[in-house]
Structure 1
Amino acid sequence: MSEEMRFFYEGEPEPQTPEELEAFMNDPERSRGYPGMLPAEDITAEQLLEQTSAVNTQSVVDTTDLPETTPEPGDPPAEDADPPTVVAAGPNKDATGVPTNTEIWVVFSEQVTQAQMALKGSGGEPIAGVSRQENEDIAQFLPEKPLTANTRYTVEVSGAKDAAGNVMPAPHSWSFTTGAPDTDPPTVDGTDPAADETNVPVDTAVTVGFSEAVSGVQISVKDPSNATVQGTTAGDTTTWTFTPTSPLATSKAYRIEVSGAKDGSGNVMTPYTWTFTTGETDSVRQRA
């Protein structure tokens, strides 16, 4: 019977070349054939394990004729049958005194698509606005205008579908009540450069911080001759920045006026003015 399998004693290096394999197979001190081995086409993985365990050796396969064995399949992954749910929401359920410009949002238990939010007034009338998904697990409702003071509203969330196709089985709803109307205008609560600051680098930008989220901000910078400095104004919600098109002049006092900032309730700020003075050289501002 031709040898289809050979065994070598534990600790022997496995041959790497045909010459090493031939020398290895012809050296009884290092390896031997197993006389009772079944033909390669008939042997199973279980029988091979039994034979190799019996002689406490490692094996080198001299043939490529061993049949392939297919592993038994395990349990298939569990199918996702759980629909998405709302795990957090704002304003809180049954909250009172809610600002009329409040943010309305929900967080889902998983990533979803097709989520829809609707808002209704105290009489069930729909409130105009936009439903959108901020992230894959967060949805928002943006009213077209500030809510009415001292009014109960109901939010309804529906349609959210997860990646497995599970849809919310029923809408999720809750209510809250707004408080008194917001009549407080936004104010400036910080500037950079600060009021009356001196030796300000000529390449500085002017930053203004507000007491609340605002829009429509206008920042005007004027030199000692009352000429307007050219530049651009940009911001996000509470922080806005004026960036001059060109560096400012040295040793000059500049006047800054901020106006037009409007909060979500439509309250407009009182104009705010301050001054700062640039340094004597064309220094570059060092920021932390």
Structure 2
Amino acid sequence: MWITVKDGSGDPVAGHVTLGAAQSVWTFTPAVPLAWNLTYLVEITGAKDGSGNAMGPYSWSFATVTDHAAPVVTGTTPARDATDVDVVAPIKVVFDEPVSDARFSVKDPAGQEITGAVDADGAGNVMASYGWSFTTVPPDEAVPTVSETVPVRDATEVAPSTPIRVTFTEPVTGAQVVVKRPDGAVVAGVLNVDSPRSVSFLPTAALGEETIHTVEVTGARDAAGNTMAAYSWPFTMGVVAPPPNAPKVEATYVSPTNGVGALSSLTPTFEGQVRDPDGRTSTMSIQVEHDPTATGQGTGLIWSGATTSATASGSWAALTIPGGKLTDGWKIRWRARATAAGVNGAWSTWKTITVDVTPSRPAAAAAAFTGDHYTLESCFNEG
């Protein structure tokens, strides 16, 4: 059987025929939609039944729908007379039916125009002109700033697990975060974007205990291209709690001292008795700082060092501060810590002492030990 569909000019319409399950229903599907408002002719020939009886030719005609309704606008973005519209917001128009060839004419206050193409529906009905106005937001000239930091500025005893995070006053891109040690060395790490308004920095190695670190933030830009001013803040790391099997410094000693209990040398020697619960050998570290109560001499760390050879448990380790670190008249404080097999013990309590190298002071034959359980009194030789 043959099914032929012809348009008003007599030209055949392309398509394909499918046969129903009962073989009594044949369906012709055009390859493309039929045209609006047009008459078509269908011709059937060659149909036979199971006995070979052939039908005579059969034809009929039909007309497609006539569409005289032009498309209309049903919605816009931004809405009519909207204000404070984002300058990068898209301009959208919604129609009541599928259309093509739409032409946009967007004008600024000076009347300058950007044009596009005319929208018509499938039947060729062209829409009536439609217009509306809206107002964009004022120019964004405000630069993004830092609204919150973790740790906070000048924080102390910061836990090693604390993230370094920066939050901005608005969504930004391009932010850079650099963390520096006291000597200016840059800490290696990974910068993550947590949200449009925040980033975090994860060091790849542990930060130094009781060390001041400085965070510098630069480069953050908002959607309008405004770039932040550089921002920085310091914080101080805390101390990691030692494990139960950590070594310790049981007693400490500094010499030489004079008759008033002050240091009589600018290169004194610090000694400590180290002990490890597992009997391991230990090295000893010393930190020397300006006394926080002293004024007019500086603040913070003066010198730190560690012994290069291990000391047996229960024995004394010694470390001498190099020249050029101390100044006569300074008031300082110092402490010691033992390390065994990479395990750090707790720092000893701070000991405060004054540097006084005035030769008129009587020299001390022995300086005071300070420990957990005993004190040896100093003896002096006077002429």
TM-score (norm. length: structure 1) = 0.44
More helix by share: 1
Highest RCO, 1 vs 2 (Cα 8 Å, sep ≥ 6): 1
TM-score (norm. length: structure 2) = 0.34
